[in-house]
Amino acid sequence: MSVESNSNSIFETRFEFPGQTGFYRGKVRDVYTVGEQLVMVATDRISAFDHILPRPIPCKGQVLNQTAVYFLEATRDIVPNWLLSAPDPNVAVGLHCDPIRVEMVIRGYLSGHAWREYSAGKRILCGVTMPEYLRESDSFPEPIITPATKADEGHDEDISREDILRQGIVSEEDYVQLEVYTRALFQRGTEMAAERGLILVDTKYEFGKKDGKIYLIDEVHTPDSSRYFYAEGYEERQKRGERQQQLSKEFVREWLMSYGFQGLEGQLMPAMPDFFVEQISQRYIELYERITGRYFEYADTDNIEERIRRNILSAIAR
């Protein structure tokens, strides 16, 4: 068993636990199956355009894990979720659910992928018609749901509600419930963001089933799954046609695009300099403090490997 790390960062883990029956490495999380439980280790990997960047981002995994835990606890009254405990700053332990192979993406504003499609002349996204004459970062008349198929490797693909049902990926009854949960979660996230001076622009939710029941799984309203604008000055910037101030991972994508990388075949990923890695880390910490109202407490990184291992063993032994 070992943990590959770079100074105070974790790039990947290779644990072996008593009773472990499975292991899966996602873009960011290393996921261990132990009996009926999933153990998710949030590493400091960062991905963009469905590619994992070569350098870890200090504190990113801790921010993601603690932000997700914060919102999972804050939305239990809306939908049951998978979380049982968070025994370590980088770890969440929860129910092992069968994932529903659709990401429920919901957008309140025209930004990111939706804007790139819109600016290319498209007016229909995932079967949803977008109004004419919108500018980047304008709000939609009401939030739109633009699902994506969940890929184990490579790019997730846009898909319409009609194609999801036609292909039998999800039953109509379950899909209707997913839409209800998605809109309610987005409304709660929007309200919580507003209280902190932020606008929740868009986000995605993942769901699973256990014993016939739908659960919210994975992360919720984190910098990796969501985009935020600063509310202060939003209207003025829109009137002046200026770019919105974001608190999200979009600036990483923009930096990559400035070097000609969008994850397409034949494109070379640029090397990230130290100052940019530090800038990303501070952006993640800023979002955690801004959205939760909590001070970020740096976890002990003297022996990350032993800390994580010990805390996981304690949690799964209960």
Which CATH number do you get for residue 179? 3.30.470.20
Query: Encoding tokens for residue 196?
Result: 């902190």
The confidence score (pLDDT) of residue 3 equals 40
As to burial, measured by CB atoms within 10 angstroms (0-12 exposed, 13-18 middle, 19+ buried), residue 318 is exposed
**pLDDT value of residue 154:** 53
Burial of 74: CB neighbours in 10 Å, binned 0-12, 13-18, 19+: middle
Q: Are residues 107 and 94 in the same domain?
A: no
- In the 8-state DSSP scheme, what is residue 246? B
Give the 3-state secondary structure percentages of the chain, helix then strand then coil, rounded to 5. 30, 30, 40
pLDDT at residue 1 in the model: 34
| 293 lies in some domain | yes
Q: Please check whether residues 114 and 247 belong to one and the same domain.
A: yes
For the chain, residues with pLDDT lower than 50 are: 1-6
**Does residue 33 share a domain with residue 153?**
no
Quick: pLDDT tens for 282-292: 989 988 999 99
Q: What pLDDT score was predicted for residue 34?
A: 95
Q: State how many domains the chain has.
A: 2
Q: Residue 268 falls within a domain, yes or no?
A: no
Same domain, 20 and 82: yes
Interatomic CA distance for residues 110 and 89, integer angstroms: 34
| 261 is a domain residue | no
| pTM for this entry | 0.90
Burial call 88-108: b when 16+ CB within 10 Å, e when fewer? bbbbbbbbbbeebbbbbbbbb
User: Is 94 in the same domain as 105?
Assistant: no
Residue 81 and residue 139 share a domain: no
Between helix 172-195 and helix 60-74 the angle, nearest 10°, is 110
Question: Does some domain include residue 270?
Answer: no
**Tokens (6 digits) for 299:** 């976890």
17 found inside a domain: yes
Domain residues for 234?
99-253
Element (H, E) at 192: helix 172-195
d(CA 48, CA 187): 26
pLDDT of residue 207: 98
